[in-house]
Structure formats: structure tokens, C-alpha cells
Amino acid sequence: MRIGLVGAGFAARFHLDAYQRVYGVPIEVVGVTSTRAASREAFAAEHHLRAFPDLAALVAAVDVVDVCSPGNTHEAVACQALAAGRHVILEKPFTGAYQAGLVTGSESERVAHAATALRAVQASCQRMRDAAHTSGKVLCYAENWIYAPAVQKQREILEKSGAQILRMLGEESHSGSHAPSYGVWAQSGGGALASKGCHPLSAALYFKFVEGRARLGRPILPRTVTARTHRLTQLPAYQDRGHLRTAYADTEDCSMMHVVFDDGTVADILASDVVLGGVANWIEVFANDHRTRCNLNPIDALETFSPAETTLRDVYVVEKLSPKQGWMRPAPDEGWMHGYPQEIQAFVEAIAGGRAPESSLDLGQAVALTLYAAYLSAAQRGREVEVPNG
């Protein structure tokens, strides 16, 4: 199985590392392409890969196109690869609405803006679904949370217990992304709600998919969503002490979603860029016969105390944690705890077997539609909005 990477940044490095751990399926990462020549050449040289000058050249040389480029390229790259008869691994976001954000204007203007974004996402999802159906190839939604060990253990509990989930509460938050494009809606497709909220939301929707298949023979889908978004670091009264990112052109840095499923059960999702002390990645499940908290970050498998920051100067501890002083919880294998190698293993096995993976096109579409229905709710100050079903 020949694999080609599209994009030469942070996500591509995670994926490449995961491919090196694949077993049981013969694979070869052939090369990489990027619109930035310097990036693709440097990435290829560092990892002993072939640098392809454009997407068409890479697609012609591989069986699987792994899309790690910015979100505003995802649909076009995926559809081109599928049209050429290639399988696709699509990093999050599944898709989005890449228009200028609207932080001023009347409520009616904001509502119209959000409604346009939701319609654009619906159309984008349908085009990718049609392309996948026409090609007969597998489209994988690269949401690593689905394959995190804690999340997969909860999947097992649901399947074997036949439990009913009544409520879920999840969060992804930290002090702000390092990516230059983050904070510009036209490049990132939204702020904290879309870029961070997608992770715990994906896990919540996945658990209801799993529960529904186990108990009812069908996935339980999101029905409505209410949401609020805020630009806390842009408030006139905000006192900047230099610890949080503040460079947000037209996106939110704090959000919350309340999702109601078609069986009446609920999930609450928090996502923000105003949390210090490292990354908060977790989801808690409240069922009719058990309660589970899935901790992706932080975890306490390893605890260490350092009286001086210089002691661990050359040691990677965990994402977004600074300074390296006092009691800390380093991640023994951060990628494994977050499901990156398991995700890639599952994808190559699904592609080899010609079947949809657990993190599938259906899940990616449900997440995208819920997120942008949430933006429409937020534009109406938290009014309940129906989540489109396709």
C-alpha cells in the first residue's frame, strides 16, 4: 500500500511517525507534496521521502492520499484524490466554511452569515460523500480521539454492557494554538468551537453511534444544538499578562455547546484558548449503569518533581506546559495516549479490507454539521438549532 502525504506541517509529522509503527499490512510512505516548495523539500529531505511538485503528481504515484494540509484545502484535495480512484485519509477538520468571520454588525447579519456557513458545510459534505460513493474508495476521518485507548475502552464497555448514555461532558482547552493561521476564520474555518470542540464532540457523537448500533441496530444522531461563543481576550477590560494567545482577528477563544440526540439524551462540550497549565483533553460519560471519565491529557502514569526549570530543559514533558518546574505529569507516549498510531493502524487495515473505519465519513459529516449548526445557534445568542441530517 503506497501512501502519499499532502502537507508538511505538524499533522504530517504525527502521521508519518504513526506509519512507522504499522504492522500486519505492508505499506510504504512514498512522498509528500505541499504548496510551499521549501516546506515539502525540507520535509522530504529530513524523512528520506520523494518531494512531489503538485497534488496530481503525488496522486498518480500512490494508493492512499493522506490529507494533512490546512482545512480550507480538504474538500478539494479529497475529491481530486477520490476522482482518481485513491483512498483518502482526511485530517480534521472534516470540512468547514472558509469565509471571513463576522464580529461586528447586527444580530440579523450575524445570523445570515452563520446560516450561509452551515449551508456551505452541508454542500461540502455532500460533494465529498458523492465523490466517495462514485469512486467506491474508503474515506477515513482522522479524528485521533476515537482511537485513544481510554475512548476505545469505553467503546468496549458500551458494546458489552448494552448501557444507555444519559449525559456526557467533554472538553478540549489550552492557552492558544501556535499556528499563524489560527484566529483567521478564512484560513481556520472558525475558532475554539471548531478547532478544539471538534475533538470531544467527535468522541461524544461516536459513543452515541456505538450505543445505537449495540442497542438499536442504528447510530443515535445529534438532533439539536445550542451554543455560545465569546472573544474573552478581546474584551476592552481584558488585562493581558502575556500567558494567553491574544491574536484573534475574527474568531472566538471560548465556546460551549449543548447537544440533544434523537433519543433525548444530551452532551455538553467546552472548548477554549484561555486555559493555563497544559492541555485539558477529557470526556466523561454518565450512563444508566456506569460512569466513565476518559482522560487523554493530563494523565498520571508518570509524575515528576523538578525544583529548577533547567533540569528538564531538554526533555519534552507535554504539550503547552510551561514552565518545567514543580510537580508535573509528563506523558510517557503522548501520541499513543491520544490515539495517533492506533488511528493510522485502523485506517490501513480498513483500506486493505475495503471497509469503513470506526472514524468514518458518516462521523466526520455529523461532527461538521453539528459544529456549524452550533455557530448558527451562537449567532442567535444560544437559540436551539436543528442539526441537518445530511
Q: At 132, which CATH number?
A: 3.40.50.720
In a domain, 245, yes or no: yes
Spatial CA neighbour of 322 closest among 278, 382, 371: 278
- All residue ranges of the chain with pLDDT < 50 are none
The residue from 119, 142, 165 where one domain ends is 142
Give me the pLDDT at residue 309, please: 85
The residue from 115, 142, 169 where one domain ends is 142
In a domain, 116, yes or no: yes
Say how many C-beta atoms besides its own lie within 10 A of residue 22's C-beta. Answer: 18
Co-location of 324 and 377 in the same domain? yes
Q: What is the pLDDT of residues 317-351, one digit of tens each?
A: 888 777 888 888 888 888 899 999 999 999 999 99
Domain of 115, in residue numbers = 2-142
Co-location of 184 and 305 in the same domain? yes
Give me the pLDDT at residue 374, please: 98
Q: What is the pLDDT of residues 64-123, one digit of tens each?
A: 999 999 999 999 999 999 999 999 999 999 999 998 777 667 889 999 999 999 999 999
Co-location of 220 and 136 in the same domain? no
Give me the pLDDT at residue 104, please: 66
The residue from 90, 124, 142 where one domain ends is 142
Co-location of 94 and 182 in the same domain? no
Q: At what angle do helices 107-135 and 74-83 cross, to 10 degrees?
A: 20
Task: Write the CA distances from 65 to 7, 96, 244, 338, 343, integer angstroms.
Answer: 11, 20, 36, 22, 15
Co-location of 313 and 184 in the same domain? yes
